[in-house]
Amino acid sequence: MARKIVVTSGKGGVGKTTVCCNAAIQLAKRGSRVLVADFDFGLNNVDVMFGMENLATYDLIDAVEGSCRARQTLIRHPRFPTLYIVSSNRVPEKYISPQALRLVLDALSPQFDFIFLDSPAGVGEGFVRAASCAEEALLVTTPSISSMRDADRVSGMLQGFRLGKVSLIVNFVKKELVRRGAVFSPEEIAVALRLPVLAAIPEEEQLSLAGTADRSRPFRRLADALLAKDGEERGQSLFAAWGRRG
Ligand SMILES: Nc1ncnc2c1ncn2[C@@H]1O[C@H](COP(=O)(O)OP(=O)(O)OP(=O)(O)O)[C@@H](O)[C@H]1O
Ligand SMILES: [Mg+2]
């Protein structure tokens, strides 16, 4: 059965979809069977990020409504044969229950090692849907105070769900500023939010899925951390690469 991991954040635009797609690619490169399920209904862009738009015949809502079988929603990535996405092109006109979505994911689960649920930002209905269907969470934040404060609120909300593990991804890290002590380091963010950091991802001028080997390094580390038995320990070792404040 797949590990179902919700990728969430307090603030929008902090890199949830980027993290989902890049982590999925790195895991697929290691032979894992990975599904990225777009839970950002109506504002879905997993398909866009993978360059796979307009390929969906059915989406998650079709499967929930019974218009198709769960496996008919799967779209295989053209380059990585063990990587699939499920789209969510339609806005739910009526309330689609977390239970109904969980049934769809449960039907797909035996075919995968990982299912990433790309959540909308914030703590609205979309967040509840995604968090209810997951067993683990990756909470994405930037080093800014406002993003961290919103992440802390989401972290509190996540305690209301049955999640075995919640870890942080710190994105848009500016190495030089961390070295100078001008911004919080990933280590300090871990302490402030009382959560382990699984990956610290530098801000790149142009971050794309086809990025250079160097740019994909943080995501390779993230994949390693996700595959490691003790993800926390691996996550902590990241700090050696970032230096400390003070
Ligand atoms: N480390 C990074 N360096 C540079 N650009 C990045 C980085 N991470 C993400 N981006 C860019 O930031 C933008 C927002 O990223 P993304 O769509 O992944 O955020 P999101 O949290 O999913 O947003 P939303 O809340 O709208 O769903 C994208 O243009 C993406 O390419
Ligand atoms: Mg997104």
Task: Convert the pLDDT of each residue in 218-237 to its tens digit.
Answer: 999 999 999 997 544 444 44
Q: How many CA atoms lie within 13 A of 19 on its CB side?
A: 34
Q: Is the CB of 234 under 6 A from ligand 1?
A: no
**CATH number of the structural domain spanning residue 62:** 3.40.50.300
Q: What angle do CA 99, 5, 119 make, to 5 degrees?
A: 70
The Cα–Cα gap between 86 and 117 comes to: 10
The closest alpha carbon to 78, from 60, 59, 55, 57, belongs to: 55
65 CA distance to ligand 1 centroid (A)? 31
Instruction: Give the phi and the psi of residue 152 in degrees, each rounded to 5.
Output: -65, -40
Distance of alpha carbon 51 from alpha carbon 183, whole angstroms: 34
Between the CA of 22 and the centroid of ligand 2 the distance, in Å, is 13
Helix, strand or coil, per DSSP, at residue 34? strand
In a domain, 246, yes or no: no
Tell me which residues have their CB within 5 A of the ion that is ligand 2. Answer: 16-17
pLDDT at 214: 55
Q: How far is the CA of 8 from the centre of ligand 2 (A)?
A: 9
Give the pLDDT confidence score for residue 215 in this predicted structure. Answer: 67
Q: Are 148 and 184 in contact (CB under 8 A)?
A: yes
Q: Which atom from ligand 1 is nearest to the alpha carbon of 11?
A: 25
199 has which bridge partners?
A: 169
Q: Domain tally for the chain?
A: 1
Helix, strand, coil percentages (3-state) for the chain, rounded to 5, are: 40, 15, 40
- Asked if residue 25 belongs to a domain, the reply is yes
* CA 84 – ligand 2 centroid, Å: 17
Question: What is the per-residue pLDDT for 141?
Answer: 98
Q: Are 33 and 82 in contact (CB under 8 A)?
A: yes
In ligand 1, the atom with minimum distance to the C-alpha of 118 is 22
* 9 CA from centroid of ligand 2 (Å): 10
- 113 lies in a domain? yes
Q: Which atom of ligand 1 is nearest to the CA of 12?
A: 25
pLDDT in tens, 70-94: 999 999 999 999 999 999 988 876 7
pLDDT attached to residue 204: 87
DSSP-assigned states of every residue in 97-142? PHHHHHHHHHHHGGG-SEEEEEPPSSSSHHHHHHHHT-SEEEEEE-
- Judged by its nearest atom, the ligand closest to the C-alpha of residue 222 is 1
User: In terms of residue numbers, what domain contains 135?
Assistant: 3-241
Q: Quote the pTM value.
A: 0.92
Q: Residue 75's beta-bridge partner residues?
A: 85
Per-residue pLDDT at 244: 40
Q: What is the mean pLDDT of each run of 10 residues along the chain (246 residues)?
A: 97 96 96 97 90 91 95 96 94 83 97 97 93 98 96 97 96 94 96 96 75 73 89 47 41
Q: Report pLDDT for 31.
A: 96
Type and span of the H or E element at 150: helix 145-158
Residue 194 is classified by DSSP as: T
In a domain, 137, yes or no: yes
Residue 18 exposed, middle or buried by CB count within 10 Å (0-12, 13-18, 19+): buried
**For position 240, what pLDDT does the model report?**
43
Would you say residue 63 lies in a domain? yes
Q: Is 209 near ligand 1, meaning CB less than 6 Å away? A: no
Residue 15 CA, ligand 1 centroid: distance in Å: 4
- Residue to probe by mutation, ligand 1, list 8, 11, 17, 18, most atoms within 8 Å of CB: 18
Residue 163 lies in a domain: yes
